Structure 1
Amino acid sequence: MNEYVDNEARKAKLVGKTVTMAHGAGGHQTSELIDMIFKAHFDNPDLTADDAAVLTPPIGKMAVSTDGFIVSPAFYPGGNIGKLSICGTVNDLSCMGAKPLYLTCAFVIEEGFPMEKLEEIAEAMEKTAKEAGVRIVSGDTKVAGKGQVDGVFITTTGIGEITDGVEVAGNLAKPGDAIIVTGDIGRHGCTILLAREDFGIDADVTSDCAPLWGNVKAVMDATHELHVIRDATRGGVGTVLYEIAGQSQVGIRLDASKIPVAPEVRGVCGMLGLEPLYLACEGRLVIMAPKEQAQTIVDALKVCPYSQDAAIIGEVTEEQPGKVVMLTEIGTQALLPQPGGELLPRIC
């Protein structure tokens, strides 16, 4: 009960306050900001107040990944930049078959940013890290002058322990592999587009942003016969497929009728002339594995959060290496255009 009262009192002190240049100067205001917001949410046995965290390394191989997050707007239906900063790095580690263990995070905050909003971001990070089973162990806070930063930027770096017996990479796709997506595609990109632009479109679209280590673990528990796991973030599923086709020098054949797209996303894309395959996801994976294992993988995914709509959407072929071909819903074949230039919407 006392902890609840203290937490409410702490939050009350943030009301109406903003981040000032003094909060980034390294004095007592900096310490106050760290204690009032970051330590309040990130405290754990490995979190350090020293210059570097001292950690127990994984027994075997480890994966390391870093990612910067500058999403605008910072708050959107289904998440915010804080949740995204945890999911993005956790999912990058997971796609290498690595259990996320530790994260560091660096904040660059614009002078005048509301403390209550910063609290909301930190709270989302705490909740998402706890769900993913990862500990935030170290960080950095900088304050930039008004106009030098768009609100808040976050960079997270993660360390994970690679599961023994699992080897996945973008150059390991094989002809005959099935192509699986773990759910409906394009929702994050569609959400950001609608939150950023005033199109006058009334669509109930929420981001798919989610931490996916549990989904990957479920797949690896079902089979180690996996070739590629990739999260379809910037550029969406279409861009990821072209990347893998190039890395592995294979062809990709998709069946348009089997690609899951939420009706509201399909409707928005139809009105704006967008292709859902090129809209970003923040909670969807592309998996390539021998077709004999495909249904086992889908069954494992369907009982997990965030992947109940997992589906087999195509196959890897020897024909047209480096290209992605789609069987349309009217029975014709079309070459999916290779992504290039500025992909819309730009999510980061």
Structure 2
Amino acid sequence: MPQLDFDIITLGHGSGGILTNKLLETGVFELLKNPLLDEHHDGAIFELSGRLAFSTDSFVISPVFFPGGNIGELAVNGTVNDLAMCGAVPKYLSLSFILEEGLTMKEFWEILVSIKFTAEHAGVQIVTGDTKVVERGKGDRIFINTSGIGQVHEKAQISTKRVQTGDKIIVSGHIATHGIAIMSVREGLEFETEIVSDTAHLNHTIKALLDEYGAEIHLLKDPTRGGVASVLNEIVRDTRLGINISQKSIPVLEEVYGACELLGLDPLYVANEGVFIAFVSAEIADDFVKKLQKLEHGQHAAVIGEVTTEHPKQVILQSQIGGRRVVNMLVGEQLPRIC
């Protein structure tokens, strides 16, 4: 942490004057420096060609620090993953903070360091941004917005319109871990093994899969808010097809499943931050899973279902005891302030 003559964020840090410049020059710009950010201009100028993907997201998670990560790491991973789901290789991010008066510099610095570390590992540059400060009680310590631009992979043909009957549905890992990690902190729950968020950048994994399978990957989605159930319901709504999934095939950590039962939650509706869903041609599904299991963040990948015409616009779950039920769209907000 740099040597500063203040320990907490004040309204003066949002004034545009000396305190703002100290915060940015000694803190943000120095830590995140790169040639494009070093211009200190109102925007960033760079060259890209061909098909591009653009995404933006805002992060208001509570608590700001949670088992396995913090809001800074989550903000970078979230937008990187949104670009990756478009079949793009993320290149550049913007980074904007809304800071509440009273946030400590120690906390802000820890978040900044996580942002730097995560961006470097994801292979993206933070090239522009903004910082605002609001009065005490008008925010919740810190909110972050990130926007990103990426180059679409030359083999990618990712679209809901490409989902077809017979496609296999693959999940890349254990579901519901992030949401339960957050809830365990909020509810003061303790487990024999600590449940930590699965927050991770998935772009390197997705690129490796696109390199090998290209257009055989029809659709990619990251099941964040609303979980797997919401994503699948959005897809059947848009395609007018049906989906069958098998409960016994869906990977869920035992302690996460237990926590869901304790809290009265269905893992299918709980948020994830390091998991993606892929719709792929049936012909490559088994090979795709084997490949994914050898990649970072894919060790627990599994086929969980398939696309069908049997029951248009419905997701049907076959339970572990053989029964069948409709998995509906989430009504309301099961877990607020989860990302």
Indicate the TM-score class for this superposition, using the shorter chain for normalisation.
Answer: over 0.9
TM-superposed CA distance for 1:54, in Å, is: 0.9
Q: CA deviation at 1:202?
A: 6.0
| Mean Cα deviation higher: 161-170 or 21-30 | 161-170
Counterpart check, 1:143 vs 2:133 = yes
1:77-96 matches, cutoff 5 A: 77-96=67-86
* Cα deviation code 1:311-343 (max 9, x no counterpart): 111111111111110111112221113311222
How far 1:14 sits from its partner (Å)? 5.0
CA distance in 2, matches of 1:127, 1:341: 35
1:263 counterpart = 2:268: no
| Counterparts of 1:149 and 1:27, CA distance in 2 | 22
Q: What is the alpha-carbon distance in structure 1 between the residues aligned to residue 6 and residue 228 of structure 2? A: 42
The one of 151, 156, 160 equivalent to 1:170 is: 160
Letter of the 2:164 counterpart: K
Deviations 1:151-204 (A, max 9, x none): 000000000000113111233311100000000000111011111223566651
Residue number among 288, 302, 310 corresponding to 1:297 in the alignment: 288
- Mean Cα deviation higher: 166-175 or 213-222: 166-175
Instruction: Tell me if the contact between 1:218 and 1:300 (Cα under 8 Å) persists in the aligned partners.
Output: no
Of the candidates 137, 154, 161, which is equivalent to residue 151 of structure 2? 161
Please tell me whether residue 333 in structure 1 is matched to residue 333 in structure 2: no
**Structure 1 equivalent of residue 231 of structure 2:** 240
**What amino acid is the match of 2:293?**
K
Q: Is the 8 A contact 1:14 1:116 kept in 2?
A: no
CA distance in 2, matches of 1:144, 1:345: 22
1:347 counterpart residue number: 338
Alpha-carbon separation, structure 2, partners of 1:72 and 1:137 = 27
Structure 2, unpaired ranges of 5+: none
Partner in structure 2 of residue 55 of structure 1: 46
The one-letter amino acid paired with 1:255 is: S
| Higher mean C-alpha deviation, range 305-314 or range 294-303 | 294-303
Identity of aligned pairs, percent? 42
Offset at residue 21 of structure 1 (A): 0.9
**Superposed CA offset, 1:191-247 (max 9, x none):** 111112235666510000000001101111220111110001011111111111111
Contact 1:182/1:307 (CA < 8 Å) preserved in 2?
A: yes
Given the two structures, how large is their TM-score scaled by the length of structure 2?
Answer: 0.96
Q: In 1, distance between residues paired with 2:45 and 2:118?
A: 23
Pairing partner for 2:276 from 285, 292, 311:
285
Q: Which residue of 1 aligns with 2:220?
A: 229
Distance in 2, matches of 1:29 and 1:104, equals 22
Aligned to 1:7: none
Letter paired with 1:329: Q
Task: Spell out, residue by residue over 1:248-300, the C-alpha distance to the aligned partner (whole angstroms, 9 max, x if none).
Answer: 11111001111000011011011122111110000000000111111222122
For 1:176 and 1:15, locate their aligned partners in 2 and report how far apart those are by CA, in whole Å.
Answer: 63
Tell me which amino acid in the other structure corresponds to 1:104. S
Task: Tell me which moved more, 166-175 or 187-196.
Answer: 166-175
Structure 1 window deviating more from structure 2 (300-309 vs 122-131): it is 300-309
SS of the aligned residue for 1:153 comes to strand
Q: Please point out which of 177, 181, 184 is paired with 1:191.
A: 181
Whether the aligned pair in 2 keeps the contact of 1:226 and 1:290 (CA below 8 Å) is yes
Q: Secondary structure at the match of 1:13?
A: coil
User: Mind listing any 5+ residue stretches in structure 1 that lack a counterpart?
Assistant: 1-10
Tell me, in whole angstroms, the C-alpha distance in 2 between the residues paired with 1:168 and 1:149: 37
Q: Does 1:100 align with 2:96?
A: no
1:8-46 deviation line (CA, Å, top 9, x unaligned) = xxx262597001111111112111101222112211122
Following TM superposition, by how much is the alpha carbon of 1:344 offset from its aligned partner in structure 2, in angstroms?
Answer: 2.5
Return the alpha-carbon distance in structure 2 between the equivalents of residues 184 and 249 of structure 1. Answer: 28
Q: Which residue of 2 aligns with 1:210?
A: 200
Distance apart, 1:79 and its partner CA:
0.5
Other structure's SS at 2:181 match: helix
| 1:254 partner amino acid | I
CA-based RMSD: 1.5
1:91: how far off? 0.3
Contact 1:222 1:300 survives alignment (8 Å): no
Contact kept, 8 Å, 1:235 with 1:343, in 2: the verdict is yes
| Equivalent residue number for residue 274 of structure 1 | 265
The residue identity in structure 1 corresponding to 2:25 is D
Question: Secondary structure of the equivalent of 2:160?
Answer: coil
Q: Secondary structure of 1:104's partner?
A: strand
Instruction: Please tell me whether the aligned partners of residues 217 and 281 of structure 2 are also in contact (alpha carbons under 8 angstroms).
Output: yes
Report if the CA contact (8 A) 1:64-1:160 is conserved: yes
Matched, 1:249 2:240: yes
